[in-house]
Amino acid sequence: MEQKQTTIGITGMTCAACATRIEKGLKKVEGVTEANVNLALERASVTFKPDVVNASKLEEKIEQLGYGVIHEAVDFNITGMTCAACATRIEKGLNKLPGVTKTNVNLALETAHVEYAPSEVSIQDMVRKVDKLGYKVTLKKEEEHGESEQRQKALTRQKQKLIASALLSFPLLWAMVSHFSFTSFIWLPEALMNPWVQLALATPVQFIIGRQFYEGAYKALRNGSANMDVLVALGTSAAYFYSLYLTIQSIGNPHPMVDMYYETSAILITLILLGKLFEALAKGRTSEAIKTLMGLQAKTALVIRDNQELTVPIEEVVVGDIMVVKPGEKVPVDGEVLEGRSAVDESMLTGESIPVEKEAGGQVFGATVNKNGLLKIKATKVGRETALAQIIKVVEEAQGSKAPIQRVADKISGIFVPVVVGIAVAVFLIWYLWVAPGDFANALEKLIAVLVIACPCALGLATPTSIMAGSGRAAELGILFKGGEHLEAAHQVEVVMVDKTGTVTKGKPELTDVMTEGMEESTFLTLVGSAEKNSEHPLAEAIVSGATEKGANLLTTEQFEAIPGYGIRAVIKGREVVVGTRKLMAQYGISVNHVLKKMDGLEQEGKTA
């Protein structure tokens, strides 16, 4: 039976226990063969049988478990609608597409907003569907990652919560610090010693700012498991409610007790919020490599339709489109050259510093750069099928894959919370019954310390974050890992074999060696550099740059002719100069064998003669 893979963005996970719970929940869904949840990337990769279950059911399951699902979104401009029935027809048509979760068509603005799962439906599928219904559609604006916008808003909310929590907690921290014998010199306002003032400061932190921990704990316990939120809720609630009990006891007492723990609960919530903010920032930075790769793509394409050249967004290019790529432009998508001849810089894909000559019948790839000739190309692969999109997919899968060490961490964190709660209760009883008999406050302090300090967050987050950071940084440097296990094994590598020198060059040719026969090197470089300065070929640019650096004074050419695929011919001060390949030399009857023999060693090093 055919199997399909989808990636679902998830919100609301707080620790590795959450990821483990979602994985287990998804694996229980009939038709799901594999589920892998990455806490750091906040996404699930699910392999399933489309005949048995679809992506919508998987999203429903995630929401039942108490987490949110992130959808990508796209906006279209639609023309040709005449009444509300048109808008309804388009909505129904788009909603029938697999992977489309929500459609909103606005008749007055002539726009459509669609939320969709990119693994099941593409923008081109939606465009084709609207066209088929008889309306004209253009891409308004792709919400490049609906999730990135949502994450930005979530980050802003986190910062606001942290600031509010810190402002309310600071007076409580001030009161606590002034109690130490070595800080008795610190002035403390009398009001901050009042338990009712402390209650007023701690309550908003505990129940308004800290509400997320109670909600997370409830969802976890409702689904039969425990996570970091359970520990935080238990620890801070113990401190808060014990302090509340002491505050009520102080009613009518002119000298109320000051050994309260309001600062414990408030400061802990503040510190955990700070930790969560650091986590969110780390997650954002580790996905920069994907954005960098995506940034290599061309944004528009010059397409020939109805004998007219139209500039369209890259998302609107379809297989079979004829495109024009001018010198210096990026190739929009993978395709076949129909007309023209040029050198194409493919270093971003292959690492090869020498551009590849392309002519009719040759294959070109999206995001490579057309150097010096006009090319007419037929699109053969678009969207997620292009070579660059496949590379991005490999990097995403590598960042989301689990290294062996992470599987161990996930197993531990899955049982970590109940074990910690058990240890905390045991510590409380040992302190209350034996270490400090009858001292409830002392025993409670130890219980809170165990509960809150032992959060499994770092255990579950450190490994996936390090895999993301490592594979992401490697991708920026042109090294791709196909999985976390390979990244983990990399420290054992002693020898690296490279199939060709081009993959480890700078990606840009340079003049390295000059050999002359019967001519001064300075004269030779002046003639060759002057001849090549009219050429746009990358090797010509390297020669001109090298000649200039070596002090050559370039002259004006009287004649210049580019010979595609061979080289150039020029006339300088009445002297004919021919620069190019062995074939060009043979064509002009110029013997260069005696020089090439001297260059054998250099060519074996990977240098181009």
Q: Which residues are identified as catalytic? A: 499
- The answer to whether residues 293 and 395 touch, using CB atoms and an 8 Å cutoff, is yes
Rounded to the nearest 10°, the torsion over CA 146, 220, 272, 445 is 170
CA dist 17 and 412 (Å) reads 9
Place of tokens 């300065």: 533
Q: What are phi and psi of 354, to 5 degrees?
A: -90, 120
- The one-letter code for the residue type at 297 is Q
Residue 572 forms beta bridges with which residues? Answer: 575
Residue ranges of E strands in 269-374: 300-305, 308-313, 322-325, 334-339, 342-345, 356-358, 363-364, 369-370
CA dist 432 and 164 (Å) reads 36
What DSSP string describes 88-111?
Answer: HHHHHHHHTSTTEEEEEEETTTTE
- The answer to whether residues 338 and 322 touch, using CB atoms and an 8 Å cutoff, is yes
For 7, 288, 356, 359, 562, the CA distances from 569, given in Å and listed in that order, are: 56, 46, 21, 21, 7
Three-state secondary structure readout of 228-289: HHHHHHHHHHHHHHHHHHHHHHCCCCCCCCCCCCHHHHHHHHHHHHHHHHHHHHHHHHHCHH
Q: What are phi and psi of 213, to 5 degrees?
A: -70, -40
- The answer to whether residues 428 and 447 touch, using CB atoms and an 8 Å cutoff, is yes
CA dist 531 and 568 (Å) reads 8
CA dist 105 and 18 (Å) reads 36
Q: How many Cβ atoms are within 10 Å of 444's Cβ, its own excluded?
A: 19
Residue 331 per-residue DSSP state: P
Place of tokens 């013997």: 591
- The one-letter code for the residue type at 395 is V
CA dist 81 and 39 (Å) reads 44
CA dist 275 and 455 (Å) reads 11
- The answer to whether residues 383 and 123 touch, using CB atoms and an 8 Å cutoff, is yes
Structural tokens at position 251: 């009613």
Interior/surface letters 178-207, b for 16+ CB within 10 angstroms, e for the rest: beeeeeeeeebeeeeebbebbbebbbebbe
CA dist 475 and 398 (Å) reads 10
